[in-house]
Amino acid sequence: MRRSRFPGALPALAAVRDRLAAGVACQVGAALAGAVPMIAVVELARRALAPPGAGGLDGPTAGWLVATAGAALLIRVGLTAAATYLTHLADTALQLRLRRDLAARLGLLPLAWFGRRNSGSVKRAVVDDVGALHHLVAHALPNLVTALVTPVVLVVYLLATTGAVTMLALVPLGAGYLLHRRAMRDVAARMGEYGEASRRLDAAAVEFVQGISVVKVFGGGGRAHHRFRDATGAYATFLARWTSGVTPWMVGSQLLYSAPVVLLALLSGGTVLLGLGMAGLAELVALVIVAPGLAAPALTIGYGMQDLASGRAAAGRIAELLATPGLPQPTAPAPDPDRDAVAVEFDGVTFSHDGTRDVLRDVSLRLEPRTVTALVGPSGSGKSTLASLLARFADVDRGAVRVAGTDIRELTTTQLYSLVGFVFQDVGLLRDTVEENIRLGRPGATRAQVRAAATAAAVDERIARLPQGYGSVVGATAMLSTGEAQRVTIARALLADTPVVVLDEATTAVDPEAEAEIQDALAELVAGRTVLVVAHRLASVVDVDQIVVLDGGAVVERGRHDELLAADGRYAALWRAQQVPATAAVTGEPAGTRAGEGG
């Protein structure tokens, strides 16, 4: 079986194959009809130049030829419109299928995969590469069909009517093809390099824009954005090197393809052949009428082949992303766990991001139903990583994470996220209405339920003051502060009403006033639920049911606040470090050295 030239898009192309084939068939018909008017014009000229008694031009014949040309033009217009409609219909279905497949695949990938990439590279695959296939299917493929079919018909006609004289037209076109082939000799490898250079530029641009505030303050005369400058320079250098090697051949090819050059070759060679008696005037007239019209399709063929190479490269990148292994899904999902009194268990969990260094080592921990457990520890101790495993942003290397007694790997995504909700430090709001952002927690929720969740999250009054209220679009007509946006995410979690909630540094990035409001909203969220809190400020978790201290990826202590202080271990040291007065933290003055602080 012949290997497909578009492996990445093959499954999606198979789904639109019939519409695409119908569109190509219509375009073939349009190309055939498009050759008829030119043939009719040549026949008019040939008959007009024919000697008396040799089947010259008469009224009925002229009328028949003109009518045939007119009818062919109408057929061409109709078939071209049908082909355009069908190929765009196929393209729309193809893009929808590919983007859905890509979105589904991205949803299955572990967070570690995204950590090794950036939004620029993901955007290139989902937007740019799918867009490249749009141009190929909806435009380049029909144009290539026309560019191939019409010249073939005309060349066959010329060979049948003018014989070897047709070579006068084919010589410059053939030479142009050889030059174009030379220019495109390394196009496959170059397209791969172009894709990589574009990916690096996209990544650098995203990084530069996301860090623009830092660049403005600490730019230091351009040092801070050297990656963007370097990526731009490398991209420009690559394009300059590529075009400098291709341009002479492409210019020569386009000159030979151009109608004036083809016409000059015909007139020069034709005059010689006419003088030698090797060609007749009618044959030369036929070539002069038809041959210049072969130049434009020849150029289209060249560009069409380039589009094919570009489409194949894009399809390859799409294929690579679609083939990226995601988190395994259960073939036979477990029964829905009981949502009442849900316990969470980490059983001998070991995990590494890259397969070389363990971030978590043999962590065993149980969260009793309707209790609050806080994870604390120094930076890099594995707190957020452990919390993310409960949300199954990655799978453990060894051990198991269980919710309501069921290993989360045996649950479908829908089952898991009906049990586990989360609020993270990084606020995740979509560019959609505030109402729809909250409704993400329960897509079928009513307006009253959405508003009730917002009220419980202490953000209803703020939303009501927006220009369009709950219909205001985040980032457009709804400009929310970090604290307000965080309360919207809490409202989303409240609406989801999951029995287990993960809170990861939910108040770290806000001011004290906003923190107090968020804490009130969180109190509403955690009531009656099994909660896992990742905490940096120990003062915020002194009243929780269980505090677990992580250090170096392992559990080193656990207990209540008073018990851990009495044990005078790692937790007590962290607690004392956070009790340093603010003035001492700013000035560097050791705590307890100022007046009244001794003893």
Interval 519-529 mean pLDDT: 75
57 vs 70: CA distance, rounded Å = 18
Q: Is 253 a residue whose pLDDT tops 60?
A: yes
* Amino acid letter, residue 241: R
Measured CA to CA in angstroms, residue 197 lies from 194, 203, 237, 313, 525 at distances of 5, 10, 10, 13, 47
Q: Is 423 a residue whose pLDDT tops 60?
A: yes
Q: Three-state DSSP class for 549? A: strand
pLDDT tens for 299-329 read: 677 667 777 777 777 877 788 888 888 888 8
> What pLDDT is recorded for position 86?
93
CATH superfamily of 7-322: ABC transporter type 1, transmembrane domain (1.20.1560.10)
Closest CA to 319 of 98, 484, 471: 98
Token pair for 453: 């969740």
> What pLDDT is recorded for position 121?
67
CB 553 within 8 A of CB 360: yes
> What pLDDT is recorded for position 1?
37
567 vs 553: CA distance, rounded Å = 21
Q: Is 588 a residue whose pLDDT tops 60?
A: no
9 vs 312: CA distance, rounded Å = 9
Q: Is 224 a residue whose pLDDT tops 90?
A: no
> What pLDDT is recorded for position 78?
95
Q: Three-state DSSP class for 398? A: strand
265 vs 212: CA distance, rounded Å = 59
N-to-C CA span, the chain = 86
* pTM reported for the whole predicted model: 0.64
Kindly write down the DSSP assignment for every residue of 334-364, as one continuous string: PPPPP-SS--EEEEEEEE-SSSSS-SEEEEE
Q: Is 599 a residue whose pLDDT tops 50?
A: no
Token pair for 111: 């967070």
394 vs 112: CA distance, rounded Å = 7
pLDDT tens for 568-583 read: 999 999 998 888 654 4
425 vs 508: CA distance, rounded Å = 7
* Amino acid letter, residue 72: A
Q: Is 10 a residue whose pLDDT tops 60?
A: no
| CA torsion, ordered 110, 112, 113, 116, to nearest 10 deg | 170
> What pLDDT is recorded for position 369?
92
147 vs 529: CA distance, rounded Å = 67
pLDDT-derived band at 170, boundaries 50, 70, 90: confident
Identify the burial level of 148 via C-beta atoms within 10 angstroms of its C-beta, where 0-12 means exposed, 13-18 middle and 19 or more buried: middle
Find tokens 């019409």 and name the residue: 150
Measured CA to CA in angstroms, residue 532 lies from 297, 362, 416 at distances of 66, 18, 15
Measured CA to CA in angstroms, residue 378 lies from 40, 228, 346, 373 at distances of 86, 33, 20, 17
Q: Three-state DSSP class for 535? A: coil
User: CA 286 from chain center: how many Å?
Assistant: 52
Q: Is 509 a residue whose pLDDT tops 60?
A: no
Q: Three-state DSSP class for 444? A: coil
Highest mean pLDDT among 174-188, 272-286, 440-454: 440-454
pLDDT-derived band at 85, boundaries 50, 70, 90: very high
Task: Give the sign of the dihedral formed by CA 413, CA 415, CA 416, CA 421.
Answer: positive
Token pair for 588: 């560097």
Interval 140-145 mean pLDDT: 84
Closest CA to 492 of 428, 414, 425, 404: 428
Domain boundaries, the chain: 7-322, 344-587
Kindly write down the DSSP assignment for every residue of 240-285, as one continuous string: HHHHHHHHHHHHHHHHHHSHHHHHHHHHHHHHHHHHTTSS-HHHHH
Q: Is 398 a residue whose pLDDT tops 90?
A: yes
> Any idea what DSSP says for residue 540?
G
569 vs 561: CA distance, rounded Å = 12
Q: Are strands 500-504 and 420-424 parallel, antiparallel or unpaired?
A: parallel
pLDDT-derived band at 162, boundaries 50, 70, 90: confident
pLDDT-derived band at 294, boundaries 50, 70, 90: confident
CB 522 within 8 A of CB 372: no
471 vs 432: CA distance, rounded Å = 9
**Percentage of residues of the chain with pLDDT beyond 90:** 19
Interval 551-575 mean pLDDT: 92
pLDDT-derived band at 39, boundaries 50, 70, 90: confident
Q: Is 288 a residue whose pLDDT tops 80?
A: no
Identify the burial level of 492 via C-beta atoms within 10 angstroms of its C-beta, where 0-12 means exposed, 13-18 middle and 19 or more buried: buried
Interval 409-438 mean pLDDT: 85
Q: Is 147 a residue whose pLDDT tops 50?
A: yes
Which position has the higher pLDDT, 182 or 57?
182
Q: Is 77 a residue whose pLDDT tops 50?
A: yes
Phi-psi region of 12 (alpha: psi -120 to 50; beta: other; left: phi over 0): alpha
Token pair for 550: 């992580």
Q: Three-state DSSP class for 441? A: coil
> What pLDDT is recorded for position 214?
52
What DSSP element (H or E) covers 564? helix 561-567
Q: Is 3 a residue whose pLDDT tops 70?
A: no
Strand partners, 508: none
> What pLDDT is recorded for position 289?
78
pLDDT-derived band at 53, boundaries 50, 70, 90: low
19 vs 248: CA distance, rounded Å = 40
CATH superfamily of 344-587: P-loop containing nucleotide triphosphate hydrolases (3.40.50.300)
Interval 112-129 mean pLDDT: 71
> What pLDDT is recorded for position 596?
36
Find tokens 């009790």 and name the residue: 579
pLDDT tens for 336-363 read: 887 787 899 999 999 987 777 888 999 9
Q: Three-state DSSP class for 508? A: coil
Task: Give the sign of the dihedral formed by CA 263, CA 264, CA 265, CA 270.
Answer: positive
